[in-house]
Structure 1
Amino acid sequence: MEILAMILAGGRGSRLDILSEKRVKPSVPFAGKFRIIDFALSNCSNSGIYDVALLTQYLPLSLNEHIGSGKPWDFDRRDSSITMLQPHEGPGGSAWYQGTADAIRQNIEFIKNKNPKYVLILSGDHIYKMDYRWMLKEHKENGAELTVAAQPVPIEEASRFGIFEVDENKQILDFQEKPAEPRSNLASMGIYIFNTDALLEYLEKLENQDLDFGKHVIPSMIKEDRKVFVHCYDSYWMDVGTYDSYLAANLDLIKKSEEVGIDLYDTGWKIYTRSEDLAPARIGETGSSQNSLISNGCKIEGTVQNSVLGPGVTVRKGATIRNSIVFSGTYIDENTHLDTVIVDKKVYIGKNSFIGHGEAKVPNYEKPDVLSSGITVIGKGAVIPEGALIGKNVRIFGEVKLNENNKYVPVGETVKK
């Protein structure tokens, strides 16, 4: 085997908060009909990489059900496979994955049994299109032992990333993990190609319990003057790890064609997924949709503007949805208005309600670091009664059933079951 892809898909995604309350972050719906994980899987399939391992940990059921045998991505062929790897008990006992490299380390025997020449390590929660064959080609040409995909970022944001300094040949001279005063703006994308022998060497000799590629493996290889290079990537890439980035990445898909983040209509590089068998979307006599993504099975009698609707969403007459994301199976009754809201699956919102009301004067009181820009989030299966008034920066957890006594939720509040 030439190359094995290993996708890290076990992170809880705590900054996605309510959306990852009952599912792992890569399993969160995206762009209406897709899941976040679909982009990494589709990149592998489109790049001709059909041996894939998915490392899961936190609440894996939703992800496992979505992946199945891997048929939508063509991983169920005779000469291909997708393997789900979870923490397991070994001679030294059992342990959760403690770091990105520790997750790979706990599956060393799997890598040895597959015996690839190269190992491609990916994150399962990034939105981008990449042909990994170009990265592998550079890796070979450079005689590299490790190649890391990197992208320039605004210098004022560089302290949020792992930052590289490179020479004229793109060989890495120095690496700083989230430096307070970055000396470069070339940021790691968390995409790695290792020579298998080099990967196994460092996994076995570094003894850190929380072994991480950014904190331990890459700095060690640079310090020991190993052949570590960057592959510069200049197309769209987004880590959708926060409410703000998640909403922005969804809305990037509906910008004008010359500004679009990722072209979902590119027949040469399709994004594959496990689709629900639903009828085509229907926009009724009183319905309208402008600059939006409307998935199959939607019934629109109201107005949808600059928004993304998942499969089977109902929007009744007089309702308006603006700058919002609505997951599958949600019902929005008559004359109800949503403004900058993320609504999870199977939510019922009664008529004559206003969600995302007022100004974002204060952040969410309980989680100000998570929700402060004016987004309101409603969890899976919640019920919002008729005539509700819910402000901005509000968090309503899944399966909460508001009633006449608590249907007015001020800016910044959190409602739990």
Structure 2
Amino acid sequence: MRIIAMILAGGEGTRLSVLSEKRAKPSVPFAGKFRIIDFTLSNCVNSGIFDVAVLTQYRPHSLNSHIGNGKPWDLDRSHGGVQLLQPYQGRRDESWYKGTADAVYQNLNYIRERRADIVVLLSGDHIYKMDYSAMIDFHQKRRADFTVGVMHVPLEETDRFGIMTVDDQQNVVEFTEKPKNRDKGTLASMGIYVFNADTLMRRLGEGGDGSPRIDFGKHVIPAMISNDKVVAYPFEGYWVDVGTIQSYWETSMELLDPNNTLKLYDPHWVVHTRSEERPPAKFGPQSQVVQSMVRNGSVVRGRVERSVLSPGVYVSPGAIVRDSVIMNDVWIGPGAVLDRVIVDKNAVVGAGARLGYGDDLTVPNKQEPEKLNTGVSVVGKSAHLPPNIKVGRNVVINADRDEEHFPTDEVASGETV
């Protein structure tokens, strides 16, 4: 039996604001040294799947260079291995991917060339550990055409997910994409699918000009529930869609909890990534670090509390970093205070600056009120913040902003620079 995996990694991730402005959502850094897609790629190889296609589209350069030839995941193979599939212009109707199903449809040749029996279709933007081989066994024992991974989510979050209705045999009888009312239950699709390859190819090819099969949630899954055997595979482990600023920040903070169930340090299920060589982390004589992750190449001379520091971060003497996520090669000046902020790569925080200033966490961002409304402020890639500036809550500092973009010494809560 031939099993292949296809990872959908072309998403723009607009709800992540400036974090996904210059990169696809699956290549957003996470947990100091990883990218979000590392978890899905590692799940594949840890599950014994070594034939993997990554479907990219939006700003793929960072993702392409991260995956490369797949060596960190043992996917640099002459037979199988990893293959990056971008949209292209051809002689027929190939073009930009219009949706998740269209992306797979335009790459059906990949499935045919591999002579696949089973296609494991995955999202590249979720944080979790899962043995796909157990789900494939379940799929075969149930003689299903299509198996979807499901788990219960809080009732107030059901409008973010596709919600499944199942009978007492775990057969899916109804699917509702991001329901506005909350009477459909809490059993959410995880974006983890196992298909019989022939059924998948047949269903994707059925949509005509009048009703194209563009999206799995809107078009393919409802059609398959009507015509095929669709079953739900319940998953009870750790799984998070870090698709919003709040969920990204919360998930990062959860990593620092000693009781966190993601278990990044489990030697039996390693999360692989591309690592660059850096010297060990260094802590100066005045440094204090409390319940934090500090990655290689970082130098801490100030105080770090409940925070995640990626490689190459410099925390100057007298600086305080609290409840924050700091990405690669950020420089934090003397006496600066960062509270509940996410700072993207290569940013510079001037001496004495205050980021996350003030007690009112409820003033939403004026330009993106639905994305920043819980008190987390975000600094984009390579932004330079001047010394002694005060930046409030729910603030967005866009990428590449320089000191001249800050005409006053304060950015009020809810503003955007």
**TM-score calculated relative to the size of structure 2:** 0.96
2:356 aligns to what SS in structure 1?
strand
Decide whether the 8 Å contact of 2:362 with 2:374 is kept in 1. no
Quick check: 1:32–1:310 contact (8 Å CA) kept in 2? yes
Partner residue in 2 for 1:364:
365
SS in 2 for 1:90: coil
1:30 pairs with 2:30: yes
What is the root-mean-square deviation of aligned Cα atoms in Å?
1.3
Amino acid at match of 1:345: K
Q: Match for 1:397: what amino acid? A: N
Tell me what 1:100 maps to. 100
CA separation in 1, counterparts of 2:340 and 2:261?
A: 19
Map residues 275-294 of structure 1 onto 2, 5 A cutoff: 275-294=275-294
- Structure 1, gaps ≥5 residues long: none
1:221 paired with 2:224, answer: yes
Partner residue of 2:250? 248
Tell me how far apart the structure 2 counterparts of residues 129 and 300 of structure 1 sit (CA, whole Å): 31
Question: Does 1:236 pair with 2:230?
Answer: no
* 1:353-385 superposed Cα distances (whole Å, 9 cap, x missing partner): 100101224111111111111111111111111
Give how far 1:178 is off.
Answer: 1.9
CA deviation profile, 1:105-125 (whole Å, cap 9, x unmatched): 011112111111000000000
Which residue of 2 is the match for residue 347 of structure 1?
Answer: 347
**1:202 maps onto 2:182 in alignment:** no
* Cα displacement string for residues 202-252 of structure 1 (whole angstroms, at most 9, x for unaligned residues): 00002344611111111111112x111011000111111110011111111
Aligned residue identity for 1:235: G
Tell me how far 1:91 sits from its aligned partner: 3.0
Counterpart of 1:195 in structure 2: which amino acid?
N
One-letter amino acid of the structure 1 residue matched with residue 193 of structure 2: Y
SS at 1:335 equivalent? coil
The whole-number CA distance in structure 1 between the counterparts of 2:388 and 2:51 is 52
CA distance in 1, matches of 2:213, 2:117: 26
Deviation string 1:24-74 (CA, Å, 9 cap, x unpaired) is 110110000100010000000111100000000011111000000000000
Q: 1:183 is matched with which residue?
A: 184
Deviations for 1:96-139, whole angstroms, at most 9, x for unmatched residues? 11111110001111211111100000000000000000000000
State the match for 1:376 in structure 2: 377
Aligned-pair CA distance for 1:408: 1.4
Give the aligned partner of residue 75 of structure 1.
Answer: 75
Q: How many residues align?
A: 412
User: Which residue does 2:143 correspond to in 1?
Assistant: 143
Amino acid of the residue matched to residue 298 of structure 1? S
CA distance in 1, matches of 2:64, 2:139: 32
1:267-299 per-position Cα deviation (integer Å, ceiling 9, x unaligned)? 000111001210111111111111111100010
Query: Is 1:394–2:402 an aligned residue pair?
Result: no
Letter aligned with residue 372 of structure 2: L
1:361/1:411 contact within 8 Å kept:
no
Which one-letter code corresponds to 1:231 in the other structure? Y
Change (3 A) 1:361 1:119: closer
What is the deviation of 1:306? Answer: 0.7
Please report how far the alpha carbon of residue 155 of structure 1 lies from its aligned counterpart in structure 2 after TM superposition: 2.7
CA distance in 1, matches of 2:51, 2:152: 30
In 1, are the aligned partners of 2:204 and 2:213 still within 8 Å (CA)? no
| Letter paired with 2:215 | D
For the 8 Å contact 2:242–2:248, the answer to whether it is kept is: yes
Residue 176 of structure 1: how far off its partner (Å): 1.4
Deviations 1:136-171 (A, max 9, x none): 000000001000000011233323321112122211
Which letter maps to 2:375? G
Letter in 1 for 2:254: D
Query: CA separation in 2, counterparts of 1:147 and 1:264?
Result: 28
Verify the 8 A CA contact 1:98 1:210 in the aligned structure 2.
no
1:412 aligns with 2:410: no
Structure 2 gap ranges (5+): none
Q: Identity of aligned pairs, percent?
A: 48
For the pair 1:123 / 2:123, whether they are aligned, the reply is yes
Tell me the SS of whatever aligns to 1:190.
Answer: strand
TM-score of the aligned structures, taking structure 1 as reference length:
0.96
Change (3 A) 1:141 1:227: same
Partner amino acid, structure 2, of 1:106: Q
Q: Cα distance, 1:261 vs. partner?
A: 4.0
1:401 to partner: Cα distance = 0.7
